[in-house]
């Protein structure tokens, strides 16, 4: 995610982009402006958190990012292509092939094993076989569940189920992961494990967009985009805040020993 005035050029490809997006809903005689002129970019490798109070437009933004809704006006581009004007079938293909979804409630199929749950995204594309099994096994290892392939969701903890969901979201090599309150059903220790896993995925070039109400979750991202009344209120560079805090702590420690 680029701040509005970057100090140095960023040549990484733009993965997802809103261009003056408006989403209005007609409710009787009233028009609700859920999003009212939002422009933003997510570049390859970014880790972006989206926050805002109830009614700020977070859910609407999430639905458009996930291809579950369309702008009233404006453009939503995925991989440089405006997908907001696609028909339902083509938009469904975008959801299935270019976006990896991670849900608060995991959304695993209880009757299937971990391995079978991981293969579900490729099953719908007719790509289940030796290659899909090899990829599922690799991703299970990547999220620390290589020894649980034959277990079913009810035999796993909440954190393990979310790890399965993250691995499943990566099966299609999506352009970005879209996480909806991905740690909302987890205790604080397990939440940290999942956030650490997101950090571990970063060197692989994984792009993450997480919608959350939890500031502690948001501050782990590179940037936090704050929405207010359907507009971008501010964009916070969390990396700068971390550097400032580290410098302040260093200065304090130095002063204490002088």
Mean pLDDT of 111-136: 87
Give pLDDT, residue 250: 63
For the stretch 95-113, pLDDT in tens is 999 999 999 999 999 999 9
* Per-residue pLDDT at 61 exceeds 50: yes
What CATH number belongs to 45-54+94-256? 3.40.50.300
- Using CA atoms, how far residue 62 sits from 37, 138, 227, in Å, is 15, 29, 12
124 pLDDT band, cuts 50/70/90, is confident
Q: Which one, of 144, 179, 141, lies nearest residue 160 by Cα?
A: 144
> 116: which DSSP letter?
H
For the stretch 158-217, pLDDT in tens is 999 999 999 999 999 999 999 999 999 899 999 999 999 999 999 999 999 999 999 999
Confidence (pTM): 0.87
Domain ranges of the chain: 45-54+94-256
* Per-residue pLDDT at 1 exceeds 80: no
Give pLDDT, residue 127: 75
Task: List, in sequence order, every beta strand (DSSP E) within 63-140.
Answer: 73-78, 81-82, 99-102
């Amino acid at each position: 995610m680029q701040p509005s005035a970057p100090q140095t050029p960023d040549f990484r490809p733009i993965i997802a982009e809103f261009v003056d997006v408006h989403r209005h809903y007609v409710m009787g005689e009233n028009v609700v402006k859920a999003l009212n002129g939002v422009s933003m970019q997510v570049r390859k490798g970014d880790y972006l958190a989206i926050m805002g109070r109830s009614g700020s437009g977070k859910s609407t933004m999430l639905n458009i990012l996930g291809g579950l809704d369309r702008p009233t006006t404006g453009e939503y581009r995925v991989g440089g292509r405006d997908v907001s004007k696609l028909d339902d079938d083509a938009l469904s293909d975008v959801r299935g092939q270019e976006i990896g979804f991670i849900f608060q409630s995991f959304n695993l199929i209880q009757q299937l094993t971990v391995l079978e749950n991981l293969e579900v995204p490729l099953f719908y594309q007719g790509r289940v076989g030796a290659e899909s099994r090899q990829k599922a096994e690799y991703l299970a290892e990547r999220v620390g569940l290589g020894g649980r392939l034959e277990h079913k969701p009810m035999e796993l903890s909440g954190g393990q189920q979310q790890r399965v969901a993250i691995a499943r979201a990566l099966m299609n090599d999506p352009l970005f992961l879209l996480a909806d309150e991905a740690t909302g059903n987890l205790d604080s220790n397990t939440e940290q494990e999942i956030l650490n896993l997101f950090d571990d995925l970063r060197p692989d070039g994984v792009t993450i967009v997480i919608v959350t109400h939890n500031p502690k979750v948001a501050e782990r991202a590179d940037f936090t985009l704050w929405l207010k009344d359907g507009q971008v209120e501010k964009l916070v560079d969390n990396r700068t805040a971390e550097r400032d805090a580290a410098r302040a702590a260093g200065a304090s420690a130095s002063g204490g020993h002088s």
